[in-house]
Amino acid sequence: MLTQIKDNQITFTDARFYIDRETGEYYPSATTILEAYPKPYALLQWMKEAGSKADEIRDAAGRRGSAVHQLTEDYDNGLECNLLGENGQPNYSMEEWAMFERYVDFTDALKPIHQLIEQQVLSPRLQFAGTIDRVCLINGKRYVLDIKTSNGVYNSYWLQVAAYQQALLKEAKVKTDGVAILWLNAKTRTKKDLQGVGWQLIVKEDTKKDWNLFRSVQKLWLAEHSEDKPKQFSYNLTHKK
């Protein structure tokens, strides 16, 4: 996360935290807090089998997710998204572009009306922060929507969006009817009400249990990380011998 550019230096803040520029206070991200949530047995087995390659595979999945998120953000902001660059070479992998095509299909099918796009929310009351992918109207109901490109839809995702829903209510007084996860790596092969080929919209309107569980995980995270502070990294903008 970019903090500032000053005196020939660019300074970045640890991405695990969000900083309130007005007060200087910092808050852990909801996803950082959820690192304390128990990992599924299947994931632990995969990490064991993947061994030294696990980090490499995880990082590649992170880059894929970032690329797809940027494409969807540009698309919803009315920008033209191109597979090929000016040199005729692909700007994205075929896997990334395929997931973006599924997002376009989702948009055409359900015609969501986006009210917030990639909205940061910091909650001094709840002591965490995050970036909400979308707040949108679908079939007349308002949802906090999170876009996922992972191989599965994991329980921790529901805690994440429930936390965003509460932060949005506390800090911006924005009420929503529920939360939703748009899974762009689904195994679906047919078109139905809330799904298409390769994508699925999963909706949950009762989030009380997930919110309470997030708060429990937050207490567990704070027990180990209450003294954590964001790290900062500074680099010179220019160099000359």
Phi, psi of 156 (to 5 degrees): -65, -25
27 token code pair: 């808050």
User: Which pTM does this prediction carry?
Assistant: 0.89
Q: What is the mean pLDDT of residues 28-39?
A: 94
- Is the confidence at residue 44, as pLDDT, over 70? no
Ramachandran angles phi, psi of 128, nearest 5°: -160, 170
Q: Each residue of 93-126: b (16+ CB within 10 Å) or e?
A: eeebbebbbbbebbeebbebeeebeebebbbeeb
Is pLDDT of 131 > 60? Answer: yes
Which amino acid would we find at residue 177? D
- Look at residue 86 and give its three-state secondary structure: coil
- For residue 3, pLDDT over 70 is answered with no
| Contact status, residue 110 vs residue 138, Cβ threshold 8 Å | yes
DSSP 78: T
Where residue 141 falls among pLDDT bands split at 50, 70, 90?
A: very high
Instruction: Report all structural domains of the chain as residue ranges with CATH numbers, in order of start.
Output: 2-236 (3.90.320)
Confidence at residue 88, expressed as pLDDT on a 0 to 100 scale = 93
Percent of the chain with pLDDT over 90: 72
Helix ranges, the chain (H): 30-33, 41-50, 54-76, 94-110, 155-172, 208-225
pLDDT, position 72: 98
Greater model confidence, 121 or 39: 121
Nearest Cα residue to 206 out of 154, 148, 241, 165:
165
Enumerate residues 6+ apart whose C-beta is below 8 A from 70: none
Give the residue-averaged pLDDT of 3-14. 69
